[in-house]
Amino acid sequence: MADERKLAYVMAFNEAVKQQMEADPNVFCAGEDIGAFGGVFGTFGGLQAKFGADRVVDTPISEQAIVGLGVGAAVTGLRPIVDLMFMDFICVALDQIVNQAAKLKYMFGGDAVLPLTITTAGGGGLSAAAQHSQSLEALLCHIPGLKVVMPSNPYDMKGLMTACIQENNPTVMIKHKRLLGMTGHVPEESYSIPLGKGNILRPGKDVTIVAYARMANEALIAADELAKDGIDCEIIDPRTLQPLDTDLIVSSVKKTNHAVVVHEAVRFGGLGGEIASQIQELAFDYLDAPVTRIGAPFSPVPFSPALEQHYIPDSKTIVQGIRDVMARV
């Protein structure tokens, strides 16, 4: 509708945080440069001016300490949002993420509550080079005790971020850097999207494309191109990667009889392998061709803009992958 309220992806994140901070005094933010500077991508802009330095805390440059602060605050009754500037930097904090945040509830027999939200920015496309451009979501999804979220549009960003903050278990919200300026319909009132529930971005009958974050948008472009040749694509955006909405994916594949899984991460060992395995296990008799995976080559993300553009899958890569699948007997 023409009068729909439009908001950028980055501001949808910001609005979700602001509304939850207004609603609950136990919600606070901590991270490098998120205070007066508003974060490296502006995601926390204006929040320190509104809520003060006690609730929007600039931290030292120590990712392990930032997550450790969040774990301690969460287990003692607060609702921290801790920011790791780039997804690549989770590697510095993995002991706190994997061995503390993800394990404490289990190790305390369910008595420990950890309403901790870790936010970070993933993905390439900004020529930020190999140490600032990775997609490491599969690593996080492998850890029991974590919930992992990757929105593909502003509406989902606000709803999923709200759900993350309200969740009583550790969540990781991964913003895609190339989507920060994307605009779309976002209601002004607070709302949440249940974690673990995927979305049908585009209904179709010939092939199921499972794609998330930036790749979901590339899949939409590819679907429009393939429609010119009479190939009707159904696009499933999982939105939450852990837990994964396997039922939605399998139901779609049983209808279309073909499946293509797309992610920006390196293809080998990526989440696409897990999704393909679940389709194979639960919908094998419905498949008219093997499940196809599309991902990046097994290489660090290049700095060169020309090489990076070639490295990251796009709509053209998806179109070719689907043509190959549909051509198989």
Backbone phi and psi for residue 72, each to the nearest 5 degrees, phi listed first: -65, -40
For the question of residue 132 being annotated catalytic, the response is yes
Active-site residue identified among 132, 176, 258, 263: 132
Contact 157, 164 (CB under 8 A): no
**Tokens found for residue 26:** 């136990």
Q: What is the DSSP letter of 178?
A: G
Sequence length of the chain is 329
Q: Enumerate the β-bridge partners of residue 202.
A: 235
User: From CA 150, how far away is CA 122, in angstroms rounded?
Assistant: 9
In angstroms, rounded to a whole number, what is the distance separating the alpha carbons of residues 329 and 88? 41
Strands 199-202 and 233-237: antiparallel
In terms of Cα–Cα distance, which of 265, 216, 261, 263 is closest to 237? Answer: 216
Tokens at 31, concatenated: 């991270």
Phi, psi of 187 (to 5 degrees): -60, 150
**For the chain, counts of helices (H) and of strands (E):** 12, 14
Tell me the CA distances in angstroms from 297 to 89, 216, 293, 301, one per residue in order: 21, 19, 12, 9
What does the block give as tokens for 277? 């395995």
Burial 27-36 (b: 16+ CB within 10 A, else e): bbbbbbebbe
CA geometry: angle 114, 117, 120, nearest 5 deg: 150
Q: Which sequence positions are flagged as catalytic?
A: 132
